[in-house]
Structure 1
Amino acid sequence: MKIFGIFGDPIEHSLSPAMQNAAFRALGMDGCYHAFRVSRSRLKDAVIGADAMGFGGLNLTIPLKEEALSLDFLEADDLARAIGAVNTISFSGEAGEEKGKNRIQGYNTDGWGALSALQDAGVKVKGSRVLLIGAGGAARAIAYALDREGAEVSIANRNLKRAHELAASVGGISYCLCDLEPLVRQADVIINATSVGMREGDGRIIDSRLLKSHHVVFDIVYNRETELLWDARSIGAAAIDGVMMLVYQGARAFEIWTGRKAPADVMERAVRESLEERRQRKSR
């Protein structure tokens, strides 16, 4: 049996084991996926150990994505280096077998996940005016994916310096959060790439009165229906939750490791069932 896993700290909240194990079962593959708590200071040891034990691949989550780039034995692809973060590690496969390549390869599939979620919802990304709220790691991956696909990207963030840096790297324009009203009016697609909405009581990052039915609203938060998505659905706007980004980035990682097409529908169902179980336990 081939072992796969996700490293992070904390890690108990991760839905990746449910999602990836469902994919292995659906395809009849002899693989299993587990979550491991790994601190930043022990990442190097943990990756070397996973390689030594014959793991098939890894995912990385907070706070390890950026740290992975400092591993001297890991070769990150161009996109991961540009984004500044690795969320997927492969120990084998074509990329690792190319002459002159390190066998341990690093990738970032977050942007792929976000782009696939938009395209799956019927959004024509090329030429669309996208308002991206946030300038952290997830926002950075999404911005690069949108830029590569030909979207016009505006980035609004609380920290204007970070917004400037990200916008400059993808040919976008940066704004502060105080500019949201005119930006929302001009946008075709609105993406919340901040943590606002993750917890009840967080409030709204956008005044609901600004949203219109022609908007596509995408919130990368996946643990609950955020107020932003509720507002979008209530006026008939297209609303995309963070589950789909989670599923598609995981599907891309699965395909990198195995060379098999990932059963995204099975993976989505596993995530949504796990979320519902958590909600039911919380309400008891």
Structure 2
Amino acid sequence: MKESKLFGIYAHPVHHSMSPLMHNTAFSYLELPYYYQAFDIPPEAIEQAIEAMRLLHIGGVNVSIPLKEKVLPLLDEVDAEARLIGAVNTIVREENGLLKGYNTDGAGYVQSLIAETGIVLSSTTALILGAGGAAKGIAVYLLKQGCSRIFVSNRNQEKAIELVRQLEAYIAENTLLGKVEALPWESVEEKLPAFSLLINTTPVGMWPKVEETPIQLELLAPNTIVSDIVYNPLKTAFLAEAERRGAKIHTGLGMFIYQGALAFELFTGQKAPIKQMKEAVLNHLQQGG
């Protein structure tokens, strides 16, 4: 019989997270004696939270806003791709007790984007709103999958410029063909017709402030694919407005499920029951959760 283990999520705030529902559903379905708990960890307490993983023998945690970049220097080892991205969303306690960081955000996002929209990335010009950990992971995987051009915009322009520098270095090191560029936040709305893919990686519109949107969409071109990584609510105000303007929308649920499934497999070494995980989250969201 397997040893009981505790897993969890570190985020701030964390009460909205459906990671416990998703992972506990998977544990139950596979009859694993594991439990997944949400932990509200303010940024100033992240060092103590990582130490708690060691002291309490926590098997692994997911890491969300605003901690994905702050945990890097606190870990014993960081996967090469997570180090490149500069953000960790999954920490695993290895058998030797060391803590290793991974990033499953980008892979989960691109898998769901292609599956749900049929997008051809080689002919796509993308605009990413935000320049944090999720934006980095998504941008790296878009480039890996052949996205031709990516623009990055952030309210703090310096963060967007820094992300572009990192992506340019990645392109050069891996002889990729994509191009990246920073776009000033105040120019985004007037430039919308130039983009075939628009991605919101900011938390704007997340429950409970569901009426908020990151930008206005008056100039959005019809048939643009508009994506939002926020998954609660399932259809954000941003996506609802995009849909009204003729866009094809891609919700954050797919990314959430797929990145969670990849994390689950790192935690357990077993294939994730994706169907059951998705059904549990979708049912909860449809019931107003």
TM bracket (short chain) = 0.7 to 0.9
Counting matched residue pairs gives: 270
Determine the C-alpha separation between the residues in 2 that align with 1:219 and 1:141: 14
Partner of 1:11: 14
1:192 maps to what in 2? 200
The answer (yes or no) to whether the contact 1:125–1:146 under 8 Å persists in 2 is yes
Task: Find the partner of 1:168 among 150, 165, 183.
Answer: 165
- Does structure 1 residue 105 correspond to structure 2 residue 105? no
Task: Give the Å deviation of 1:60.
Answer: 1.6
2: distance between equivalents of 1:164 and 1:63? 20
TM-score (normalised: structure 2):
0.83
Q: Distance in 2 between matches of 1:46 and 1:180?
A: 38
- Maintained 8 Å contact 1:131/1:183: no
* SS of residue in 1 equivalent to 2:183: strand
**What stretches of structure 1 move > 6 A for 4+ residues in a row?**
none
Deviation at 1:38, TM superposition (A): 3.1
Q: What is the alpha-carbon distance in structure 1 between the residues aligned to residue 43 and residue 278 of structure 2?
A: 29
Cα separation, 1, equivalents of 2:65 and 2:205: 18
Report the 3-state secondary structure (helix = DSSP H, G, I; strand = E; otherwise coil) of the residue aligned with 2:67: coil
Percent of aligned positions that are identical: 38
- Match of 1:70, SS state, is helix
Determine if contact 2:20/2:37 at 8 Å carries over to the other structure. yes
Query: Quick one: distance in 1 between partners of 2:65 and 2:257?
Result: 17
Q: SS of the residue aligned with 2:13? A: coil
- Deviation larger for 161-170 or 11-20: 161-170
Structure 1 residue 164: Cα displacement: 1.5
Change (3 A) 1:49 1:207: closer
Q: Matches of 1:133 and 1:149 in 2, distance apart?
A: 19
Match of 1:136 in 2: 132
Q: Partners of 1:202 and 1:53 in 2: how far apart?
A: 39
Structure 1, unpaired ranges of 5+: 97-101, 280-284
User: 1:99 maps to which residue?
Assistant: none
- 1:154-174 CA-to-partner distances (Å, cap 9, x unmatched) read 112222222221122213111
Q: 1:123 to 1:259 in 2, by over 3 A?
A: farther
Partners of 2:228 and 2:252 within 8 A in 1: yes
Which residue is equivalent to 1:123? Answer: 119
TM normalised by structure 1 equals: 0.84
CA RMSD, aligned part only? Answer: 2.4
Say which of 270, 275, 278 aligns to 1:260: 270
Q: Is the 8 A contact 2:85 2:136 kept in 1?
A: yes
